[in-house]
Chain A
């Protein structure tokens, strides 16, 4: 399967709550997906719950962490793009099928990304994530 990436339904809901100034938080965390086979990102993801420790890494440096940098950029109109960068440093041998970005409470997944193939990381290996999302009116 191809690399797939998308906003999830729960991420859209959280975004609307932010606009409404209701109880919601922005994109602040990131976690690696632990799967032996490639996954497929979907808007109604069945594994988007960040608390699901069967699918998300909980150790070995690939666990839920604050995103190193979150910013904004311009693709079509000023400030229409959110950018995020993060480096995971593995402390063991693991499989990484993709990533999720979550809110500050770590209870909502904004963006789900499943890589082209599973990355087989070994101790001290690094995975540098370079992500961006554009709200496209073009």
Chain B
């Protein structure tokens, strides 16, 4: 499938899916505006203890690789490797979010809910993808 994006209008967005009740005291969370540096932001917090709802899954914004800057073998090879990494990373986060959503009521590793740590290299991405497909391996860190 062809994915078309704009190179000069970069967009990044994440969705954090949580339950509506505090994971500490089970009170329903409410909206709270807060300042993150100069940025005015919003979150759902518990009015009693300041906790948050139980995290079910957090999506991850994968950015497409930058186009090659030259036609030399080195530039093209680098672009090929970046593209390969992007595909593996996308595949990992797609499967991770689906796995976390499917197991919302079960205990799974926190890394599959938060997406952190995210693979940083091709080999890490291959390893994490393989681990996620194995029903036994994905239970252990």
- Which A residues form the contact surface with B (CB < 8 A)? 1-7, 12, 38, 40-44, 68-69, 71, 73, 83, 85-87, 89-90, 96, 99, 111, 113, 115-121, 123-137
Contacts and interface: CB of A to CB of B under 8 A. Distances in A.
B60 A128 contact: no
What's the dominant secondary structure at chain A's contact region? strand
A87 B95 CA distance: 24
Contacts of B39: 69, 71, 73, 83
B43 A128 contact: yes
A77 to B, nearest CB: 13
B13 interface: yes
Interface in B35-77: 38-44, 53, 56-57, 59-62
Which 9 residue pairs across A and B have the least CB separation, nearest first? A2-B90, A124-B20, A131-B13, A117-B98, A117-B97, A116-B97, A128-B16, A5-B11, A113-B13
A6 B20 CA distance: 29
A99 B40 CA distance: 20
A127 B98 contact: no
Interface residues of B, number: 51
A11 to B, nearest CB: 9
A136 B4 contact: no
Given A85-B41, A126-B20, A133-B9, A4 B3 contact: yes
Contacts of A111: 11, 13
A83 B13 CA distance: 10
Nearest to A74: B38
